[in-house]
Amino acid sequence: MELFTARKIDLEAGENTVIMNKEDANKLGLRSQSRVRVTKLNESVTAIVEISETLVKSGEIGVLHRVSGKVDAEEGDELTVVSTGKPESVEHIREKLEGKELSEHAIREIITDISDRKLSDIELSAYVSGVYAHGMNLREIKDLTMAMIETGDTIEFDKHPVFDHHSIGGVPGNKITLLIVPIVAAAGLMIPKTSSRAISSAGGTADIFEVLANVDLSLAEIKSIAEEIGGTIAWGGAVNLAPSDDLIIRAEYPLRIDPYAQVLASVLSKKKATGAEYLVMDIPVGPHTKVVSMEKGRKYARDFMALGEEIGINVRCALSYGGQPIGEAVGPAVEAREALAALEGKYVPNSLIEKSTELAGMILEQGGAPQGKGKEEAKDILKDGRALEKMKEIIEYQGGDPSITSDQVDIGKYSHEIRSVEDGYIGEVNNHGIIGIVRAAGAPYHKCGGLILNNKRGDKVERDEVLFTIYSENKNRLKEAVKLAKHLNPLSIEGMILEKHPDYKTV
Amino acid sequence: MELFTARKIDLEAGENTVIMNKEDANKLGLRSQSRVRVTKLNESVTAIVEISETLVKSGEIGVLHRVSGKVDAEEGDELTVVSTGKPESVEHIREKLEGKELSEHAIREIITDISDRKLSDIELSAYVSGVYAHGMNLREIKDLTMAMIETGDTIEFDKHPVFDHHSIGGVPGNKITLLIVPIVAAAGLMIPKTSSRAISSAGGTADIFEVLANVDLSLAEIKSIAEEIGGTIAWGGAVNLAPSDDLIIRAEYPLRIDPYAQVLASVLSKKKATGAEYLVMDIPVGPHTKVVSMEKGRKYARDFMALGEEIGINVRCALSYGGQPIGEAVGPAVEAREALAALEGKYVPNSLIEKSTELAGMILEQGGAPQGKGKEEAKDILKDGRALEKMKEIIEYQGGDPSITSDQVDIGKYSHEIRSVEDGYIGEVNNHGIIGIVRAAGAPYHKCGGLILNNKRGDKVERDEVLFTIYSENKNRLKEAVKLAKHLNPLSIEGMILEKHPDYKTV
């Protein structure tokens, strides 16, 4: 046991970290990534050691703000430091790397330690790598899901049943939640929807709905709004649902891996934590989405349903066409505008109406509508204005302006039209290219970064016809996005000659 | 591209890291673990982003000292920051996680990026995890070994051939190098031995020899001493041999995993980098060592020889008994003393003499001694004092006092005898327990932390007879070590009754 003087260092490491002087570390036999127990009076926390030669002097210990928060350490406080062993969960991570099946206890240890930020980035990455390399069986995934739920907050509704909807994403322009929630709620069912913000996309549902209302709701607000008016669209990240998920994503994101077991557990843990009893899943399938083949889509569907049964959620899945954006608009502001326009009964692309009412209809059927009649009922609710009325109510309850119309949504001061350089038919639409352009225009942070497609796959276009229009609230960002659009060429025109052999000009 | 003002932050992260204000990061679409290119005038470096809300203000960028060093950034300098993609090596790491064979190119990309500190801890851990989960074939291991060599410095000797020795470790008290090097050099062969310091052991060869001489030699010093007097014992960490190895260990150590392919490549890359043409490997086998069965030991032997052939080193291996410490002494100072005593011809345990001369003999046979006669020749060199003379020469060339005798080695002011509580025979010796006690006594940082065994496996002991003596230069550390010794009981006495059923006292 050694005494140190606290020096506060504000740095948001993913883990509990303290910084020790190299000399002190040597004396205590500690090295980078060693673990110590740091104590101030009666409060203790386990932290991971990093070494510095000058940031802290000998006798000082640098406490990053997660650590100082836990032991309430102020600058100059006296802290005791004791070298400590690895948590048991690291042994279980190694077992998974060796291809072993993990017990319920082992999985709970791992998820608890991740939630408590007891694991270093190196250990966390090894966990994600192990699950990616060797997978998990249904029993392990069930235990993983339950552990993720139990290490976070949950909502207990007084009204039942609770309906929910989720899309596993990957297709741009997927603003369907802004139609599904008001349709389902207008039908008298309760749907407390939590959504994510964009990670690698142009805008998550939370980013889009934030254009119209506040999405940072507490669990109590989600509960009371849903119970009162039937529907809500909240940002899941503002509440502490299955918090290990965000910490696990910290390792998945830089590796660009989505371990299959982790995807299943991530989705259903958040749904279960918000009380879902009936869930309709949208699984977009297409070459530039997360799920690239029908076969993989069917596997997801089977496994989501099986896992749902294990944890008490009735899950139905729809494999949807993910080969190009849904509707015409991509980006928070233009998507919010398009969704509002659809609710107002104005012209919007058929793909958006069909997909939204199909999925809403599946929920209505779970809620008692006659089999095969759900979509029709959903369309009626959309067409006769009941969905728009419910949407205004939701916007109002979430602190937005319920009188807003689609024309009034600010979509950015600056725009630029991208035109076809050839006659022909639009062959492929590259989702990744579309997303890249919209992000270059500022989305999701700047709500007006966006793009509206004037043409989609299969459309005949003539030379100089507008293919799509880019929007931004900033001239420089618009310029960057236009440059990228010209480089990426996300709408390929078939019938365009790429090369001629031999080159007849020279013959 | 955005301009930021540099704030220097001295922190030794394993990777190139910059710290950005949360608001700036959001605006640029960056998150924790994103990559940016940081430029000052003509110097650039790729760095990994961490986020802080207060450590740096908006408009500032915190540069950790690896980064500031590379672009020569001073406090207040203007730096440009551009978001940049992931290195190609991360794709290859993912391939390994998926169980794919990696191409030579892929392996070279990974090792180059690790050496250049371009990979984050998360990515590095995924690499180590992938190799641990899926292994590598001989072709991959060869490419890995060559990539590890080529990303570091190498020694080109003017004299040939170059002999070398290596023990894969795991058994305490293994001071054999301090006998092997002078014996081999006294026989007229050249053996430029680089050794490691302790990571998890009580003392590496470099820690032990440092008691007698300076081990921080440059590559030029290693070369000139070896060419002049035939032998040297240097710390491999003071020079830049296969530097990716230390960085890879940064991830292996906290996970306590030693991917098999990485162990092979780690050993032979360092040997090849120091010019080895002939190598004798010691592979200790025993229940508390790295290699727990003869079968695994034989696999190591086969693979070391096969890999050696691929990269041009003639490798011979000896599987040795690793069931208990070699000799009687464990800890830097006591081991240095024991090795010197052996060279001086004083009484030392037979196990030390036999093992050292057996291995030295194998090297002498590689160098031309008649097959089967090497050990005898090694024993002659040890007995007639030639090895001691050579050792004095090595100590002198490495800045130590050549007149030192074993009696003069300082082994610590304080000692405590641990006695048997029963009559019986010593059954098992727990290597891990021995190491733990010696580390508690201060080793390897404090050279005098150590332990001398008065009895070993199979010895008959009586109640109150001394089992071992602990040494330290510090009273408190000695007390800690004694406490641990009583708790761990590393020498189990057979014949000791553990329990009686039924308990006859109550019958």
pLDDT digits (tens, 9 = 90+) for A79-112: 999 888 788 999 999 999 999 999 999 999 999 9
Residue of B122, B250, B255 lying closest to A254 (CB–CB): B122
- Please state, for a pLDDT cut of 70, what percent of chain A lies above it: 96
Euclidean distance between CA atoms A228 and A222, whole angstroms: 10
Q: How many angstroms away from the CA of B248 is the closest CA of chain A?
A: 11
Residue of B27, B86, B255, B447 to mutate when probing chain A, most A C-beta within 10 A = B255
CB contact under 8 A, B11 and A251: no
Between CA B224 and CA B158 the distance in angstroms is: 10
pLDDT at B338 over 90: yes
Q: What pLDDT band is residue A362 in, cutting at 50, 70 and 90?
A: very high
User: Are the beta carbons of A63 and A20 closer than 8 angstroms?
Assistant: no
Residue B324 φ then ψ, to 5° = -155, 170
Look at residue A498 and tell me whether its pLDDT is greater than 80.
no
Assigned token pair, B497: 């009754």
- Cβ A253–B129 below 8 Å, yes or no? no
> Which residues of B are less than 8 Å from A254 in CB distance?
33, 86, 90, 120, 122-123
Within 8 A of A258 by CB-CB distance, chain B residues are none
Nearest to B11 among A55, A97, A253 (CB): A55
- pLDDT at residue A324 greater than cutoff 90: no
CA distance linking residue A343 with residue A295, whole number of Å: 34
Q: Which of B12, B55, B133 sits opposite A10 (nearest CB)?
A: B55
Q: Tokens representing A141?
A: 């995934």
Q: Phi, psi (5° rounding) for residue B5?
A: -100, 130
Average pLDDT rounded to a whole number, residues A113-122: 91
Residue A126 Cα, gap to closest chain B Cα (Å)? 6
B405 — pLDDT class (breaks 50, 70, 90)? very high
CA dihedral A95, A97, A100, A102 (to 10 degrees): 60
Answer whether B121 sits within 8 Å of A125, measured CB to CB. Answer: yes
Contact A256 B120 (CB under 8 A): no
Alpha-helical regions (H) of A117-234: 121-134, 138-150, 177-186, 205-209, 219-229
Domain B163-238+260-406 in the same topology as domain B88-135: no
- Quickly count helices (H) and strands (E) in chain B: 18, 18
What are the chain B neighbours of A27 within 8 Å (beta carbons)? 445
> Amino acid identity of A285?
V
Q: Are A25 and A57 in contact (CB under 8 A)?
A: no
- Inter-chain contact A124–B122, Cβ cutoff 8 Å? yes
Q: What is the mean pLDDT of residues A473-479?
A: 92
- pLDDT at position A506: 43
B123 and A93 within 8 Å at the Cβ level: the answer is: no
Q: Are B159 and B190 in contact (CB under 8 A)?
A: yes
Beta-carbon separation of A254 and B98 below 8 A: no
**For domain A414-494, which CATH number applies: 1.10.1660.10, 1.20.140.10, 3.90.1170.30, 1.10.3720.10?**
3.90.1170.30
Write out the two tokens for A388.
């728009």
Position A33 pLDDT exceeds 50: yes
ipTM of the modeled complex: 0.83
Q: In chain A, which residues have their Cβ closer than 8 Å to the Cβ of B126? A: 125-126, 128-129, 251, 255, 257
Distance to chain A for B375, nearest Cα, Å: 38
Q: What does the angle CA B120 – CA A265 – CA A259 come to, to the nearest 5 degrees?
A: 40
Q: What is the pLDDT of residue A162?
A: 98
Q: What is the pTM of this model?
A: 0.86
Question: Distance (Å, rounded) from C-alpha A226 to C-alpha A191?
Answer: 7
Number of other CB atoms surrounding residue A406 within 10 Å: 16
Contact call for residues A115 and A152 (beta carbons, < 8 A): yes
Nearest to B366 by CA among B313, B310, B321, B302: B313
For chain A, the structural domain boundaries read 2-84, 88-135, 163-241+252-397, 414-494
**Residues on chain A touching B257 (C-beta within 8 angstroms):** 94, 97, 126
Q: Is A245 tagged catalytic? A: no
Distance from CA of A106 to the nearest CA of B (A): 16
Q: Which residues of B touch A124 (CB under 8 A)?
A: 122, 125
Res B504: pLDDT? 53
Mean pLDDT value across chain A: 91
Find out if CATH 3.40.1030.10 is the number for domain B163-238+260-406: yes
Closest to A208 in 3D by CA, of A327, A321, A319? A327
Catalytic residues of B: 258
Contacts of A447 in chain B (CB under 8 A): none
Say if CB B91 and CB A94 are below 8 A apart: no
Catalytic option among A153, A258, A380, A459? A258
Q: Is the pLDDT of residue B386 over 60?
A: yes
Q: Mind telling me how many Å the CA of A247 is from chain B's nearest CA?
A: 11
d(CA B427, CA B495): 9
Contacts of B43 (CB under 8 A, 6+ apart): B70, B71, B72
CB within 8 Å: B250 and A129? no
Count of CB contacts below 8 A, A vs B?
A: 142
Q: A104 to chain B nearest CA, in Å?
A: 21
Most A-contacting residue of B31, B129, B447 (CB-CB within 10 A), to test interface: B129
d(CA A382, CA A386): 6
Cross-chain residue pair B125–A126, CB shorter than 8 Å:
yes
Q: Report the distance separating Cα B289 and Cα B301, nearest Å.
A: 16
User: Taking CB atoms and an 8 Å cutoff, what residues of chain A touch B122?
Assistant: 121-122, 124-125, 250-251, 254-255
Binary contact (B97, A256; C-beta < 8 A): no
CATH for B2-84 is: 2.40.40.20
Q: Which helix (H) or strand (E) holds B363?
A: helix B350-366
Q: CB distance A133–B12 less than 8 Å?
A: no
* Phi, psi dihedrals of residue A465, rounded to the nearest 5°: -75, 145
End-to-end distance of chain A based on CA atoms, in angstroms? 87
From B192, B275, B200, select the one nearest B234 (Cα to Cα): B192
Token pair for A259: 């371990």
Residue of A nearest to B33 (CA): A254
Contact B256 A94 (CB under 8 A): yes
Which residue in chain B has the smallest CA separation from A66? B52
Rg (CA), chain B: 26
Mutate to test the interface with B, among A1, A11, A56, A439 (most CBs of B within 10 A): A11
pLDDT class of B31 with cuts at 50, 70, 90? confident
Per-residue pLDDT of B115-169, as tens digits, reads 988 898 999 999 999 999 999 999 999 999 999 999 999 999 999 999 999 999 8
Q: What are phi and psi of B243, to 5 degrees?
A: -65, -20
**Nearest CB partner across the interface for A121, out of B9, B121, B439:** B121
Record: contact A11-B255, CB cut-off 8 A: no
Query: How many CB atoms lie under 10 A from the CB of residue A415?
Result: 17
Q: Residue-wise over A215-235: b if at least 16 C-beta within 10 A, else e?
A: bebebebbbebbeebbbbbbb
Cα A143 to Cα A105, A109, A136, A147, A271: the distances in Å are 9, 11, 10, 6, 15
**In CATH, what is the architecture of A163-241+252-397?**
3-Layer(aba) Sandwich (3.40)
- pLDDT at position A42: 86
Out of A124, A133, A250, name the one closest to residue B97 (CB). A133
Gap between the Cα atoms of B310 and B137, Å rounded: 13
> Can you tell me the mean pLDDT for B199-228?
94
> Are A133 and B128 an interchain contact pair (Cβ–Cβ within 8 Å)?
no
Per-residue pLDDT of B421-473, as tens digits, reads 888 888 888 888 999 999 999 998 899 999 999 988 888 889 999 999 999 99
Cβ separation A133–B33 shorter than 8 A: no
CB distance B53–A10 less than 8 Å?
yes
Chain A residues with beta carbon closer than 8 angstroms to that of B128: 126
- Average pLDDT across chain B, whole number: 91
Distance from CA of A257 to the nearest CA of B (A): 8
- A230 pLDDT band (50/70/90 cuts)? very high
Distance between CA A183 and CA A180 in Å, rounded? 5
The fold of the A88-135 domain, in CATH, is 1.20.970
Lowest mean pLDDT among A274-283, B57-66, B178-187: B57-66
Looking at beta carbons, which residues of chain B come within 8 Å of A21?
A: none
How far does the CA of residue A98 sit from the closest CA of chain B (Å)?
6
